[in-house]
A and B are shown apart, each in its own frame.
Chain A
Amino acid sequence: MNLDTKWLGLSLPHPFVVGASPLVDDMDTVRRLEDGGAAAVIMHSLFEEQILAEELATLGPMDEAREAYGEALDFLPMPDEFSLGPEPYLDHCRQLKEALSIPVIASLNGTTKGGWLRYGKLIQETGVDALELNFYDIPQDASQSSEDIETQFCDIVWELRGILDIPISVKLSPFFTSLPHFALKLEEAGVAGLVLFNRPFEPDYDIENLAGTRTLHLSKSKELLSRLRWCGILSSERSLDLSISGGVHTPADGIKAILSGACTVQLVSAVLEHGAHIFGTLRDGLSEWLEDMDYKSLDQARGALNLSRCPNPEIYKRANYIHLLQSWRGVLEP
């Protein structure tokens, strides 16, 4: 079965790729993932916020004790090789490119316009095949409208498009009021693909210690449903490449992602749970299903159940919700 797919113009032998995560930190692991059949890898994000925080957090302890006391003008060595900028990330991109034969896609999360542009350019210089922009922001300022935020994101894409040669994708959160409209604007700004969706840390509470905590659980198959909805809607309208990230654990999940219109599927939790061979399992499962269903190729199945091709498109609409409630009432009534 021909499982060839395209993602941001990159030819992949099948849709299953390693999603942005620390999985790629260890070279041995990432080699195992390639051997296990991953079609591409996406680096975890270079977080501008993290770089700033580390620079400032290190400045205090290292600088406040400097040049203060005659016996110890400083307390730590200061080798030239020690830098707090993005270099380790960039170095790792280079190493991945050198070590792997599959495409390597970098990921970036900026906090300032300058950061997005500066780091984007640096990332391209490492030789990666594409850049994924991780648009993850928690608006807390009531004076900032959704339009402001969307415009800022589109501006960043626009400007990056002007300075980068590699294709750009955007990884989104599900919390945009009108995702199709925003997708349209992103497409116009020059984005080649959308990834649905990122899974940020969520705040949690430690009720014993009266403190906040941050948790991130591995995804479950049920999380796939929200991805299917939006992928199904977007793929029916837009020519953008779409990728699903989150909730794909089984061959059936992977098949559903394709049916909703995804070009690729990003896997992290499933890899952590099942190991590198998950790629083979999903690929083979998809292949078998396509054969069983008499599809000639992956492309033929892609988007078969999206909004425009689904035999019962009402599943994508609000009525769907009301219908479900009515069926529940039937169960609850004596």
Chain B
Amino acid sequence: MLQLKSFKPGGIHPPQQKLSAGAAITWGAVPKQLLIPVQQHIGKPCKVLVNKGDAVKRGDLLAESTGFISSNVHAPLDGKVQKIMRFPLLGGQVRDVIQLTCNDAGTPYREIVEKDYNDQPVDIDALDASEIRKKIAAAGIVGMGGAGFPTHVKLTPPDGKKIDTLLINGAECEPYITADHRLMLEYSREIIQGTRLLQRLFDGVPVFIGIEDNKPDALRAMDEAAKEADMIDVVPLKTQYPQGGEKQLIKAILGREVPSKGLPMDVGVVVQNVATVLAIRNAVYFDRPLTERVVTVSGNLVGQPGNIVLPIGTPVSTVMEQFDIDPARVRLFISGGPMMGRTSYSFESPVSKTTSALLFFDETAVVKREENPCIRCGNCINACPMGLAVARLTEMIIANGIDPAAKEAVLDCIECGSCSYVCPADRRLVHWMRLGKNIIRREN
């Protein structure tokens, strides 16, 4: 058998736990209220355009981007602005949110969304590259894989950076999460449409869609959809974490190594997540801003794990009602996957553009972690996909003496969590590395 493509060095194989892989995407009812975070991206904060008491319609601009690296926020539903306040978001940050009471509370959300796609799509052949980029920027699309970097910025490489390959990231290497998996199964045609749009932005460069081989049905569906498209290939990848890391994906598919401190465009590559590609397609074909996303709801407290379309700003508590999750039993609540996701402490926190999963666990799933002394076993170093001497670097961070050479290495950390996962002494290696990055950034 052919050796499946994968990255080097490092990598781990955590249990996949793709409990919701077989559950088709569902649509809930419109919630009573939405709490729409004003900032859902990396970059400059937005300027809020609405005031208390304003009536807004689905698709209206609520907050406007204030620079190139910034992103718009739109209203997912018709409603009235109640208040703009500070509120805990998923992931523990306390930030401004726009509280919106919805007019159509209780009606099926699917009906509202599908109305948008009844119209004739715009004539995409008439659009040139800059118009497509403009539409993407206007729609407030950010990287939906988790980082939340404004997509139009990624699609506009600076002069002198020649893009020769486009990668579509369907690896979904995190345990539990199946949102992208279901999208690739149920919206493969639309994702390929979006992919061809992106291909046009870079003058028809070859495109590779990387999917881990633990999703054979998604591989088949995408292969089928990509059949008549030119220069779009679906690449099966070895199931290995973190296959979906941008730098790892490039290494696996193209064998190119993004230089330290560099970006994918330094090796002529742009990487986009499949959910983002779908949002791009909707934005360009139907002028739909990014106002909803598919979220995996899973964990050992969820009787029937599933994937659900949620309007941005939906409070988690309404999702918990739909999935019949007892809040009193939840001990650990993660937004995103268990490897890179963030814990949250409020069930009223809203879903944002970057929320790929909501995981609920009870006491039994919690790993008690007392930090023991490092026994220099080297597991962290072998697991690190960036080839970092994690044990040595964290020692320096703890002693508060990171030497200049080590600083570069610390900043290269992608926080994938592989090192902490394999550490027999249960050291909080990723947390230390994150603290180290924070210390270095504060010094500068």
Partners in one complex: no
Residues of chain A having any CB pair with chain B under 8 Å? none
